[in-house]
Amino acid sequence: MLEQLRSVTQAVSLADGQQQKLDVIVQQVCQALKVESCSIYLADYQFHQYVLMATRGLNPDGVGQIRLGFNEGIVGLVGQREEPIRTSCAKEHPAFRYIEEANEDPFNAFLGVPIIHQRKVLGIIIIQQCEARDFERDEETFLITLAAQLSSILSLSELSDLFDEHNGERFSRTLPGVAASDGVAIGTARVIFPLENIHSIPDRKTDDIDGELEKLGKAVIATHRQLEKMSRRMKGKVSEQELSLFNAYQQILGSKGLGAEVEMVVREGYWAATALRKVIQKHLNEFKQMEDPYLRERANDIEDLANRVLAQLLKTSYKPKVIEPNTIVVAENFTAAMMAELSLKDVVGVVSIKGSSTSHAAILAKALGVPAIMGLEACPLTRVDGKQLILDGYNGQLYVSPNQTLVSQYQQLLEEDRQLLEDIRKEDNLPCQTKDGQRIALMINSSLGTDSNRARQTGADGIGLYRTEIPFMQLEQFPSEDVQACIYRDLLQDFRGLPVTIRTLDIGGDKQLDYFPIEEENPFLGWRGIRVTLDHPEIFLVQLRAIFKASVGFDNLKLALPMVSTNEELKESLRLIQQAFEEVKEELGDDCSSLQKPLIGIILETPAAVFQLRTLAKNIDFISVGTNDLIQYTMAVDRNNLRVKNLYNHFQPAVIQMLKQVACECQNLAVKPQICGEMAADPLGAILLIGMGFKELSMNIGSLGKVKRAISRFSLEELNQLAEDISQFETASAIRSHLLKIVEQRGLGGLVRAGN
Ligand code: PEP
Ligand code: MG
């Protein structure tokens, strides 16, 4: 059974487009279960109907025509109940509804199973047989398992078909993702793909067919040569049989082989790399459906060969091009490093299939003021290149090939956004305070790309978080004490007179150093933050010494420790801090007169630390709440896992309760609480935090002006009341809606959505 299931899902995943996938399913299910009919109905939510989309056994002319209301027939009942229904004689079932044009008179036995993706019924798969019998349990479990496996493939293929121009009228082409960086962008999609992976090549057309053919020819010749070389090198080292593999490769590539097929597709007007991908996917499909495991394995050889030709093609012909103005960059996994490489002059937005609102690329996008959507799983990467897009970074919606009315609406919103930002900038010099004059400190989370001049212009009260791992990530080995000291000194110098919180190295989780890889099954529950640096005092001490040396002559350093969850960790860290401090003092000798012991704090990001705040506070001067991690550890959700993204929300009542407890506890302790997670950058989150009692917020530079404006429009009393009022709401969405309503009432909606 497992083998049959595997072969059906594999065939489906390789079929091109939704209709082909559905046809493959019904055909393969009939074969695997030896039944006379298999059909698939898909849900059309616009009309609340199920539409017959593929069939074996029923009238093929009914495909696309036969429709049943969500409450009609046994099909409707399967959808309503969200569970399988089987009967030995469908006609006798009370919910049966006769459809003349379906030609289902000969069939008696019926089994229908819902196809559900993320709690939504996508459709119903049905098997039928003439013989009036109950389907066996394992036939039912086969269909249930298949439906569960197919659901995600189908949900993506449904969206993929939105990219066919002729389908444009049937659907609104909106893809939902995770709002990662505020703002709106209108531009053309440019897919950035990792080199040498044939499946990531986008659909791209060309006018220069001869040029593409020439590139293809050269790549094929270069691959031939490479294979010859490999074969020569292997001669005598492997058996003749194994050597013949290279000959087989050569033959596949030969004049009537793969090369010729790709040439034909190029002549249809495609880029050579796109044509190669199309041909290869067709062949892989055929190979992977083969019964014989040996032949099936050959699919890997074909894939390998294609990647070799591709590598040659990309090497000789597709040096990264200059990005055109008004580009929205789309990538499978947009990383912080990719962000750093972009020419921000021309890139107006960023879309990443993977990642979330607190992944590092998102944090950088915010810092750089580039609107971004992450976690756009539904975006078929190969089909989006060159399409016009509207990116709404406020609500995480991407509109593909939008109609002119929508473009005009968004152009208007873009203009309103621009005016609002201009208006907000006029308040740069004003201090942040509530309507009744309560001063609030707004600080900046500094990282790659933060322009110190601009940061100072915003009127920020200092650097609330400097993530030291970012410069570590840009290097090829651990930076020396001197190199680090230089970086930290520049920072302390740039913000002279204002506090600068430097956080010690916080690697692990999703923050990896190429030269110090940490491989774990559950990286966020593993070796990260202070746990790593305490296990490597040689790395920790070098960093601490560099920080202290950099601070000579300044009095603005604050030192923060990431991911502390026990008192032992804090005590051991303090011991090493003291050791490094003494060493630097001794080394500097007479020059150490201006070396001061900094304020020391922890980033509060585990519930364990929250519950031990009283004890931890005895030995520290401040705490900074890292809501990004505190949310994930409170809600038990990986902050980058898209399946549970709805749980990762700073308005979850449990999170709010946790934060209220921290604010309340800190009032009785001598530590000042600050917030440095992304919640502080959300104007709705920020006003709530002030209402809870936090008086210092640190955020990306791009959000500072908006947060300042939001705070300035409320009195402290109003915000305290707001924090009280939200206790009556029981869900994250109810809390957010309430905050949104309040903000809209004050005419501040433009701070959290497109337009003014
Ligand atoms: C946090 O966890 O909230 C935080 C500020 O740290 P990071 O996002 O770097 O994990
Ligand atoms: Mg953190």
**For the segment 37-95, what is each residue's pLDDT rounded down to a tens digit?**
999 999 888 789 999 999 999 999 999 999 999 999 999 999 999 999 999 999 999 99
Task: State which H helix or E strand residue 179 sits in.
Answer: strand 178-181
Which tens digit of pLDDT belongs to each residue from 655-707? 999 999 999 999 999 898 999 999 999 999 999 999 999 999 999 888 999 99
* Residue 439 confidence (pLDDT): 97
Q: Which atom of ligand 1 is nearest to the CA of 676?
A: 5
Give yes or no for residue 586 having a pLDDT over 90.
Answer: yes
Res 242 pLDDT > 70? no
Residue located nearest, by CA, to atom 9 of ligand 1: 467
Count of beta carbons in the 10 Å neighbourhood of residue 670: 10
To test the pocket of ligand 1, the residue of 357, 358, 623 to mutate (highest count of ligand atoms within 8 Å of its CB) is 358
The CATH architecture assigned to 436-727 reads: Alpha-Beta Barrel (3.20)
Query: For residue 502, which amino acid is it?
Result: I
How far, in Å, from the CA of 342 to the mean position of ligand 2? 25
- Closest CA relative to residue 29, chosen from 102, 125, 122, 107: 125
Query: Which residues are found with C-beta within 5 Å of the ion, ligand 2?
Result: 605, 626, 629
- pLDDT over 90 for what percent of the chain? 60
CATH 3.50.30.10 segments of the chain: 180-192+322-420
pLDDT bracket for residue 429 (50, 70, 90): confident
Does pTM top 0.85 for this prediction?
A: no
State residue 35's pLDDT score: 95
Structure tokens at 550: 């950099």
Confidence at residue 93, expressed as pLDDT on a 0 to 100 scale: 96
Q: How far is the CA of 677 from the centre of ligand 1 (A)?
A: 6
**What is the reported pLDDT for 369?**
85
pLDDT tens-digit readout, 479-507: 999 999 999 999 999 999 999 999 999 99
Residues with Cβ within 8 Å of 483's Cβ and at least 6 positions away in sequence, in order, are 546
Whether the per-residue pLDDT at 318 is higher than 60: the answer is no
With b for 16 or more beta-carbon neighbours within 10 A and e for fewer, the 300-317 pattern comes to eebbebbbbbbbbbbeeb
Closest CA to 603 of 520, 525, 502: 502
| Cα of 100 from ligand 2 centre, angstroms | 62
pLDDT at res. 85? 97
Band of the pLDDT at 745, cuts 50, 70, 90?
A: very high
- Answer whether residue 716 shows pLDDT above 50: yes
Residue nearest to atom 6 of ligand 1 (CA): 626
Cα separation, 574 vs 597, in Å, equals 12
Compare 186 and 119 and report the one with higher pLDDT: 186
- Predicted confidence at residue 167, as pLDDT, reads 45
Cα–Cα distance measured from residue 426 to residue 437, given in angstroms and rounded to the nearest whole number: 19
Give the pLDDT mean for 637-654: 92
Name the phi and psi angles at 359, rounded to 5. Answer: -70, 160
**Minimum mean pLDDT range among 191-195, 537-541, 731-735:** 191-195
CA 467 to chain centre: 21
CATH topology for 2-161 is Beta-Lactamase (3.30.450)
Residue spans in the chain of domains classed CATH 3.20.20.60: 436-727
- DSSP at 754: S
Name residues whose C-beta falls within 8 Å of residue 574's C-beta, 6 or more positions apart in sequence. 600, 619
Summarize the confidence of residues 390-415 as an average pLDDT.
Answer: 92
- What pLDDT sits at residue 384? 86
* Residue 590: band (very low, low, confident or very high) from pLDDT cuts 50, 70, 90: confident
CA distances from 565 to 529, 634, 668 (A): 10, 13, 21
Q: Is the pLDDT of residue 246 over 60?
A: yes
Look at residue 567 in the predicted model and tell me its pLDDT: 98
Determine the distance separating the centroid of ligand 2 and the alpha carbon of 529, expressed in angstroms. Answer: 8
pLDDT of residue 169 exceeding 50, the answer is: no
Render pLDDT for 557-581 as a digit per residue (tens, 0 to 9): 999 999 999 999 999 999 999 999 9
- Find the ligand nearest to 470 CA: 1
**CATH code given to domain 198-317:** 1.10.274.10
CA 502 to chain centre: 27
- Atom from ligand 1 closest to the CA of residue 562: 6
CB 54 within 8 A of CB 23: yes
- In this prediction, residue 170 has a pLDDT band, given cuts at 50, 70 and 90, of very low
Report residue 583's pLDDT band, with 50, 70 and 90 as the boundaries. Answer: very high
Q: What value, to the nearest 5°, has the Cα angle with vertex 241 and ends 235 and 242?
A: 60
Whether 607 contacts 566, CB under 8 Å: no
- Is pLDDT of 322 > 70? no
> pLDDT at position 452, please?
79
Substitution site in 506, 606, 637, 698 for ligand 1 pocket (most atoms within 8 Å of beta carbon): 506
Q: DSSP string of 560-614?
A: EETT--SHHHHHHHHHHHHHHHHHHHHHHGGGGGG--PPEEEEEE-SHHHHHTHH
Distance from Cα 603 to the centre of ligand 2, integer Å: 7
Q: Whose CA is nearest to atom 7 of ligand 1?
A: 628
Nearest ligand, CA 627: 1
Residue 678 Cα: closest atom of ligand 1? 3
List, by residue range, all CATH 3.30.450.40 domains of the chain: 2-161
The rounded distance, in Å, linking the Cα atoms of 111 and 695 is 61
Residue 395 vs residue 17, higher pLDDT: 395
Give the nearest ligand 1 atom to 469 CA: 9
Top mutation candidate among 628, 630, 676 for ligand 1, by most atoms within 8 Å of CB: 628
Beginning with the edge strand found earlier in the chain, give each strand of the sheet holding 327-331 in spatial order. Answer: 174-176, 397-400, 388-392, 184-192, 327-331, 347-352, 372-374, 178-181
On the question of pLDDT at 275 being above 60, the answer is yes
Closest CA to 613 of 668, 576, 656, 558: 668
Q: Which atom of ligand 1 is nearest to the CA of 626?
A: 3
pLDDT at residue 666 in the model: 94
Residue given tokens 């990647």 in the structure block: 307
Q: Across residues 462-469, what is the average pLDDT?
A: 94
H/E element holding 278? helix 272-288
Ligand 1 cavity residues, CB under 6 Å: 358, 465, 467, 506, 605, 626-629, 676-677
Residue 1's pLDDT is 73
Nearest atom in ligand 1 to 465's CA: 5
When pLDDT is averaged across residues 278-284 and rounded to a whole number, the result is: 83
295 vs 589, higher pLDDT? 589
Give the mean pLDDT of 12-31: 85
Ranking 97-106, 465-474, 543-552 by mean pLDDT, the lowest is: 465-474
Q: Which of 253-262, 480-489, 554-563, 717-726 has the lowest mean pLDDT?
A: 253-262
Which CATH topology does 180-192+322-420 take?
Glucose Oxidase; domain 1 (3.50.30)
pLDDT band at 166 (very low <50, low <70, confident <90, very high): very low
Q: Whose CA is nearest to atom 4 of ligand 1?
A: 626
Q: CA–CA separation, 310 vs 222, rounded Å?
A: 11
Cα(453) to centroid(ligand 1), Å: 24
The closest ligand to the CA of 363 turns out to be: 1
pLDDT band at 171 (very low <50, low <70, confident <90, very high): very low
What spacing in Å lies between the alpha carbon of 681 and ligand 1's midpoint?
13
**Contact at 8 Å (CB) between 383 and 195?**
no
pLDDT band with cut points at 50, 70 and 90 for residue 172: very low
Q: What is the pLDDT of residue 168?
A: 42
Please name which ligand lies nearest the alpha carbon of 447. Answer: 1
pLDDT at site 285: 74
Question: Among all residues, which ones are annotated catalytic?
Answer: 360, 676
pLDDT bucket at 296, cuts 50 / 70 / 90: low
